[in-house]
Amino acid sequence: MSKTEEVLIALRRVIRATDLHSRQLIKTASVTAPQLLLMQAIHRQENAIISKLAQEVSLSQATVTTILDRLEKRELVYRQRSEQDKRKVHVHLTAAGQTLLKSAPTALQQEFVNRFNGLPDWEQSMILASLQRIAHMMNAQDIDASPFLDTGELDRQI
């Protein structure tokens, strides 16, 4: 097998693992990876506001708002206008959202982060450089992408 074929197989495995994990997350927790990561961010931030959440999860405020709309419709989060500053809207987990968060499996992204952070600096740099080079070779360097290991639209409905 050529090195080109081996690289393509490795890329396909990454894509496939991400897709399988996304499907498993939807099946077991009934949320997408971006929804889960946003709920985790809400849990970490007391009186979370949309702009800070968007910053933490590296998504636009519009995308975060769309995800929140879906989570709110499912009664997993609720929004509350600030009493001190009416321009601010705080986001909170509902009891159902907290329960879901406690029982949800670990996100594939978190497993990756833990393992990646355990690598020596030189190896992290090598992986980063290789992946950036691959993205460039695939003319994907200008594609808008957030740091989520998920397939499909970030704000998709399940």
89-to-9, 53, 64, 81, 97 alpha-carbon distances in Å: 45, 11, 13, 4, 18
Q: What is the pLDDT of residue 65?
A: 93
What does the block give as tokens for 72?
A: 């709110």
In this structure, is residue 143 part of a structural domain? no
In this structure, is residue 152 part of a structural domain? no
What predicted TM-score, i.e. pTM, was given to this entire model? Answer: 0.72
Q: Tens of pLDDT along 115-149?
A: 999 999 999 999 999 999 998 999 987 776 666 55
Q: Tens of pLDDT along 9-60?
A: 999 998 898 888 888 888 888 888 889 889 999 999 888 899 899 888 888 8
State the average pLDDT for the chain: 86
Domain count, the chain: 1
The one-character DSSP state at 45 is S
In this structure, is residue 102 part of a structural domain? yes
Q: Which domain holds residue 48?
A: 3-137
In this structure, is residue 96 part of a structural domain? yes
